[in-house]
């Protein structure tokens, strides 16, 4: 049987994690190809709807990643993202989604290594976890 | 010590006594209007009363709860006002209003909140069925009958015909704690007396000017409130456990919402669903025909309307932290989806996650409107 290849949607901020992802790419670090990057100006503008829509549309996990606390280009967007992720996590686990399917990390612009590692680790975790519980819901 | 007055109930009963009390409130020099539920053409609706004559139709104890008036109070207080308005409200209306004030959609200035000790109300459908069945009874008679039956707690038994609404059966806030003045019924013999209890300086000022006699001890009321809250909390716990099981997987959640027709009545009825324009009625959700065909091909069969699960999860994300459990969502649902149950469960969890309780304290900021630099380390795997 073919190995399960999870689909992971990653919302990354322009100033830190996107740059880190770019660095990981140009430095030719080995990364799992399961991640679809969406570049946002800030994690603070990741609307909970984006996360919900991704999970209902077949994503097996959502990664949100931005600047380290104190480093946000817009001063405090990442702190707001953290509260939203907490909120979403409470809601999504109540309806039976595994909490590991929504991940928030801080990855600075120079941390290409960290980005590649985070992606590889997440893909490994989600492969072990299997397809999303919400995958069959489609457009319900 | 805060002022506690006695509202004497004479031969003509508690409704006459409360109308007399509100007439005194309306006559106060600082009060320009009284907002309270009235019998308007046979329907129990919030009204803004300026003419004391019209107080004869007022009935704040009616077991009908067709809408949570918090939204109306917010609209009436946002901006310049002529004089003060005294608003007679249920506890959940006051708590929802508190949430709207935090969102700058209403103002606590120029308003005196008079909260009623609330025995709950029937679901609108049950209330209408009852009025049709007992057409000969006047609305006053129906209210008095309800006031006679409610104190024993018997109407909270699901087997009662009919019981009060499910939201009321699990309401742990029957006492209107956020009010300026509480109209106290709990523990009182409503054929003899009620109480007016000042809880704030505003309430105390008004109550002192009304010149009512002092009340004796409120011990009976305190005991009754405690008992009710304990009973309701126990019922809430059972309900939450049942709901948790019913929506414990995405598949079960889909079954739970299967009858939803995307009418969005629950969001219209919700007093704290705060967006001025709901994203679900904007162009964002005007999908193209080819998109539907694509989704259908992917699954073999596509349920329309689409985005049902998306809508409910989004509303939980937007409003569950402000949910006061008034139950108007369930009351408004044409297909009897237990929306309130879902919100009480999820709202309980999301509010607890931030150490927040909707409607508890006007000075407590809504959890998604603030943040701390160091918090919630568990969200980022221990890194903060």
Q: How high is the pLDDT of residue B3?
A: 87
Q: How high is the pLDDT of residue A139?
A: 56
Interhelix angle for A77-94 vs B339-353, to 10°? 140
Helix, strand, or coil (residue A3): coil
pLDDT cut 70: percent of chain B above it: 99
Return the domain boundaries, chain A: 8-137
Q: Which residue of chain B comes nearest to A132, CA vs CA? A: B250
d(CA B5, CA B286): 57
In a domain, B240, yes or no: no
Across the interface, do B254 and A85 touch by the CB < 8 Å criterion? Answer: no
SS3 letters across chain B: CCCEEEEECCCCHHHHHHHHHHHHHHHCCCEEEEEEEEEECCEEEEEEECCHHHHHHECCCCCECCCCCHHHHHHHHCCCCCCEEEEEECHHHHHHHHHHHHCCCCCCCCEEEEEECCCCCECHHHHHHHHHHCCCCCHHHHHHHHHHHHHHCHHHCCCCCCCCCHHHHCCCCCCCCCCCEEEECCCCCCCCEEEEEECCHHHHHHHHHHCCCECCCCHHHHHHHHHHHHHHHHHHHHHHHHHHHHCCCHHHHHHHCCCCCCCCHHHHHCCCCCCCCCHHHCHHHCCCHHHHHHHHHHHCCCCCCCCHHHHHHHHHHHHHHHCCCCCHHHHHCCCCCCHHHHHHHHHHHHHHHCCCCCCCCCCCCCHHHCCCCCCCHHHHCCCC
d(CA B217, CA B199): 16
- For the stretch B300-308, contacts whose Cβ atoms lie closer than 8 Å and that sit 24 or more positions apart, written own/partner, are B302/A138, B302/A139, B303/A139, B303/A140, B305/B261, B305/B262, B306/A139, B306/A140, B307/A139, B307/B262, B307/B280, B308/A140, B308/B257, B308/B260, B308/B262
Query: Residue B264 to residues B84, B270, B327, B329: CA-CA distances in angstroms?
Result: 34, 10, 15, 9
Across the interface, do A82 and B380 touch by the CB < 8 Å criterion? Answer: yes
Across the interface, do B302 and A90 touch by the CB < 8 Å criterion? Answer: no
The number of beta carbons lying within 10 Å of the beta carbon of residue B200 is 15
Q: Is B309 on the interface with A (CB under 8 A)?
A: yes
DSSP string covering A16-43, please?
THHHHHHHHHHTT----TTEEEEEES-G
In a domain, B76, yes or no: yes
Could you say which residues from 182 to 221 on chain B have a Cβ atom under 8 Å away from some Cβ of chain A?
Answer: none
Across the interface, do A104 and B373 touch by the CB < 8 Å criterion? Answer: no
> Which of B204, B235, B266 is the last residue in one of the domains?
B235
Mean pLDDT of B150-169: 95
Q: Which two tokens stand for residue B129?
A: 């069925």
Q: Is A73 on the interface with B (CB under 8 A)?
A: no
**B251 and B168 co-located in one domain:** no
Size of interface A-B (CB pairs under 8 A): 113
Contacts of A134 in chain B (CB under 8 A): 250
Contacts of B312 in chain A (CB under 8 A): none
Q: For B264-277, how does the pLDDT look when each residue is reduced to its tens digit (9 = 90+)? A: 999 999 999 999 99
Say yes or no to pLDDT of B113 above 70: yes
Say yes or no to pLDDT of B1 above 60: no
Say yes or no to pLDDT of B381 above 90: no
> Which of B235, B269, B295 is the last residue in one of the domains?
B235
Best mutation site among B291, B321, B355, B379 for testing chain A: the one with the most A CBs within 10 Å? B379
Min CA distance, A64 vs chain B (Å)?
Answer: 10
Non-local CB neighbours of B278 within 8 Å, separated by 6+ positions: B264, B267
pLDDT cut 90: percent of chain B above it: 91
Q: For B331-378, how does the pLDDT look when each residue is reduced to its tens digit (9 = 90+)? A: 999 999 999 999 999 999 999 999 999 999 999 999 999 999 999 989
Q: Which two tokens stand for residue A13?
A: 């901020």
Min CA distance, B219 vs chain A (Å)?
Answer: 40
Across the interface, do A79 and B372 touch by the CB < 8 Å criterion? Answer: yes
- The answer to whether B266 and B343 are in contact (CB under 8 A) is no
In a domain, B334, yes or no: yes
**B111 and B160 co-located in one domain:** yes
Instruction: Report the DSSP beta bridge partners of residue B47.
Output: B36
d(CA B257, CA B50): 44
Min CA distance, A101 vs chain B (Å)?
Answer: 12
**B173 and B259 co-located in one domain:** no
Min CA distance, B75 vs chain A (Å)?
Answer: 28
The architecture that CATH gives domain A8-137 is: 3-Layer(aba) Sandwich (3.40)
**B39 and B155 co-located in one domain:** yes
Contacts of A82 in chain B (CB under 8 A): 371, 375-376, 379-380
Non-local CB neighbours of A91 within 8 Å, separated by 6+ positions: B313, B316, B317, B320, B346, B349, B350
Could you say which residues from 1 to 40 on chain A have a Cβ atom under 8 Å away from some Cβ of chain B?
Answer: none
Of B250, B320, B381, the CB nearest to A97: B250
Of B350, B374, B379, the CB nearest to A85: B379
Contacts of B279 in chain A (CB under 8 A): 49
At residue B111 the predicted structure's pLDDT band, cuts being 50, 70 and 90, is very high
**B162 and B269 co-located in one domain:** no
Say yes or no to pLDDT of B254 above 70: yes
Contacts of A89 in chain B (CB under 8 A): 379
**B303 and B332 co-located in one domain:** yes
**B213 and B257 co-located in one domain:** no
Q: Is B377 on the interface with A (CB under 8 A)?
A: no
**B337 and B213 co-located in one domain:** no
Contacts of A84 in chain B (CB under 8 A): 317, 368
**B28 and B129 co-located in one domain:** yes
Nearest to A103 by CA among A72, A66, A58: A66
Nearest to A43 by CA among A62, A64, A22, A69: A64
Instruction: Report the DSSP beta bridge partners of residue B40.
Output: B43
- For the stretch A129-132, contacts whose Cβ atoms lie closer than 8 Å and that sit 24 or more positions apart, written own/partner, are A129/A60, A129/A98, A129/A100, A129/A101, A130/A4, A131/A4, A131/A6, A131/A60, A132/A55, A132/A58, A132/A59, A132/A60, A132/A61, A132/A97, A132/A101
At residue B134 the predicted structure's pLDDT band, cuts being 50, 70 and 90, is confident
In a domain, B242, yes or no: no
Across the interface, do B317 and A56 touch by the CB < 8 Å criterion? Answer: no
Strands lying side by side in the sheet with A61-66:
A35-40, A8-13, A61-66, A102-106
What is the residue-averaged pLDDT of chain B? 95
Min CA distance, B358 vs chain A (Å)?
Answer: 15
Number of domains chain B contains = 2
Of A70, A90, A138, the CB nearest to B298: A138
In a domain, B241, yes or no: no
Q: How high is the pLDDT of residue B8?
A: 95
At residue B108 the predicted structure's pLDDT band, cuts being 50, 70 and 90, is very high
Nearest to A85 by CA among B375, B249, B256: B375
Q: Which residues constitute the domain of residue B263?
A: 247-380
Q: For B294-330, how does the pLDDT look when each residue is reduced to its tens digit (9 = 90+)? A: 999 988 999 999 999 999 999 999 999 999 999 999 9
Q: How high is the pLDDT of residue A4?
A: 94
Q: How high is the pLDDT of residue B82?
A: 85
Q: Is A45 on the interface with B (CB under 8 A)?
A: no
Helix, strand, or coil (residue A56): helix
- The answer to whether A91 and B313 are in contact (CB under 8 A) is yes
Of A56, A79, A134, the CB nearest to B373: A79
**B149 and B290 co-located in one domain:** no
Across the interface, do A83 and B384 touch by the CB < 8 Å criterion? Answer: no
> Which of B189, B212, B235 is the last residue in one of the domains?
B235
Across the interface, do B251 and A82 touch by the CB < 8 Å criterion? Answer: no
Q: For A7-63, how does the pLDDT look when each residue is reduced to its tens digit (9 = 90+)? A: 999 999 999 999 999 999 999 999 999 999 999 999 999 999 999 999 999 999 999
**B82 and B202 co-located in one domain:** yes
What is the residue-averaged pLDDT of chain A? 95
Burial of B277 (0-12, 13-18, 19+ CB in 10 A): exposed
Q: How high is the pLDDT of residue A1?
A: 59
**B151 and B288 co-located in one domain:** no
């Amino acid at each position: 049987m073919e190995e399960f290849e999870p689909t992971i949607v990653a919302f990354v901020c322009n100033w830190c994690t996107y740059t880190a992802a770019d660095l990981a790419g140009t430095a030719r670090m080995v990364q799992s190809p399961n991640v679809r990057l969406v570049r946002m100006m800030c994690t603070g503008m990741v609307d909970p709807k984006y996360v919900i829509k991704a999970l209902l549309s077949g994503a097996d996990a959502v990664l949100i990643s931005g600047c380290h606390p104190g480093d946000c280009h817009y001063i405090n967007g990442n702190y707001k993202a953290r509260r939203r992720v907490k909120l979403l996590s409470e809601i999504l686990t109540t309806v039976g989604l595994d909490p590991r399917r929504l991940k928030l990390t801080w990855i600075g612009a120079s941390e290409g290594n960290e980005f590649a590692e985070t992606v590889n680790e997440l893909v490994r975790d989600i492969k072990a976890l299997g397809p999303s519980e919400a995958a069959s819901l489609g457009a319900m | 010590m805060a002022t506690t007055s006695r509202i004497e109930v004479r031969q003509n009963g508690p409704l006459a006594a409360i109308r007399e009390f509100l007439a005194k409130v309306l006559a106060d020099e600082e009060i320009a209007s009284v907002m309270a539920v009235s019998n308007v053409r046979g329907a129990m609706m919030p009204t803004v009363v300026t003419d004391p004559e019209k107080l004869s139709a007022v009935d704040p104890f009616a077991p009908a709860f067709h809408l949570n008036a918090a939204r109306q109070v917010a609209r009436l207080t946002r901006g310049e006002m002529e004089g003060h308005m005294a608003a007679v409200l249920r506890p959940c209306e006051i708590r929802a209003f508190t949430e709207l004030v935090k969102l700058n959609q209403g103002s606590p200035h120029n308003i005196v909140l008079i909260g009623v000790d609330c025995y709950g109300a029937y679901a609108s459908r049950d209330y209408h069925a009852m009025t049709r069945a007992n057409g000969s009874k006047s609305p006053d008679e129906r209210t008095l009958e309800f006031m006679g039956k409610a104190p024993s707690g018997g109407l909270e038994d699901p087997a009662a015909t009919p019981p009060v609404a499910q939201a009321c059966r699990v309401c742990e806030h029957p006492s209107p704690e956020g009010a300026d003045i509480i109209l106290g019924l709990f523990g009182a013999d409503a054929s003899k007396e009620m109480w007016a209890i000042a809880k704030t300086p505003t309430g105390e000022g008004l109550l002192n000017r009304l010149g009512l006699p002092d009340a004796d001890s409120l011990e009976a009321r305190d005991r009754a409130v405690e008992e009710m809250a304990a009973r309701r909390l126990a019922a809430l716990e059972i309900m939450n456990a049942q709901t948790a099981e019913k929506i414990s997987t995405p598949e079960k959640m889909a079954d739970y919402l299967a009858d939803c027709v995307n009418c969005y009545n629950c969001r219209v009825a919700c007093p704290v669903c705060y967006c001025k324009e709901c994203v679900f009625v904007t162009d964002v959700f005007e999908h193209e025909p080819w998109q539907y065909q694509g989704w259908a091909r992917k699954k073999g069969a596509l349920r329309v309307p689409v985005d049902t699960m998306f809508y409910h999860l989004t509303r939980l994300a937007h409003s569950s932290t402000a949910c006061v459990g008034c139950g108007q969502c369930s009351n408004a649902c044409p297909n009897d989806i237990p929306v309130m149950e879902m919100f009480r469960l999820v709202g309980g969890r999301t509010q607890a996650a931030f150490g927040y309780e909707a409607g508890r304290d006007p000075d407590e900021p809504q959890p998604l409107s603030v943040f701390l630099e160091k918090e919630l380390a568990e969200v980022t795997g221990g890194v903060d």
